[in-house]
Amino acid sequence: MYWLLFALLEPILHGLANVIDNHFTNNLFKRTTTLVFFASFTNLLFLPIILILDFPTLITISQTPFFIILGLTGIGYLYPYYKALQNDDTSVVVSLFSLGKVFVPLLAFLLVGEILNTTQYLGFFEMFSGFFDIRLNFY
């Protein structure tokens, strides 16, 4: 039965993180760039945990540009997220920023040629229409 606790823990912690992000954006930090800096800087707190659990392997020179792009994308993602939290409701911002999950099947089809079955396409279009429904009904 412990699996049920862990399964429920993820959405609870994710919701808590969204509420904390909203509080930081609207109450503590006036400038979005300052919040992006501190949010990125707090990732260093988890570095000792990573080193304790499993020592990472060194990357090669050919992998370096990809890791730099990945890091800049992770940091660059935060600015529009926090800016949107300043202007809109948290639930709307979080649902729109999770829209990236909708593009995974589309990019998988375009880049790798993966073809989904009928049920997966129905789920894809249901998610996509849900995102638009949330956005259109908010105003």
What are the pLDDT digits (tens) for 28-64?
Answer: 998 999 999 998 888 888 889 988 988 888 889 999 9
Is residue 41 domain-shared with residue 73, that is, in the same domain? Answer: yes
DSSP-derived 3-state class of residue 139: coil
Over residues 63-122, the pLDDT tens digits come to 999 999 999 998 888 999 999 999 888 888 887 787 777 778 888 888 898 888 889 888
pLDDT at 5 over 90: no
What is the model's pLDDT at position 137? Answer: 66
Is residue 77 domain-shared with residue 138, that is, in the same domain? Answer: no
Tokens representing residue 126 in the block: 């249901």
DSSP E strands in 53-109: the ranges are none
Which of 71, 90, 109 is at the close of a domain? 90
Tokens representing residue 112 in the block: 């790798």
Is residue 80 domain-shared with residue 53, that is, in the same domain? Answer: yes
Is residue 83 domain-shared with residue 113, that is, in the same domain? Answer: no
What is the model's pLDDT at position 121? Answer: 83
Is residue 60 domain-shared with residue 112, that is, in the same domain? Answer: no
10 membership: H or E segment, kind and range: helix 2-23
Domain count, the chain: 2
- Region of 113 (left: φ > 0; alpha: ψ -120 to 50; beta: rest) is left
- CB atoms inside a 10 Å sphere around CB 96: 17
Is residue 66 domain-shared with residue 14, that is, in the same domain? Answer: yes
Give residue 71's domain range.
1-90
Alpha carbon 103 to its chain centroid, in Å, reads 13
Is residue 124 domain-shared with residue 74, that is, in the same domain? Answer: no
Is residue 4 domain-shared with residue 54, that is, in the same domain? Answer: yes
Is residue 46 domain-shared with residue 111, that is, in the same domain? Answer: no
pLDDT at 25 over 80: yes
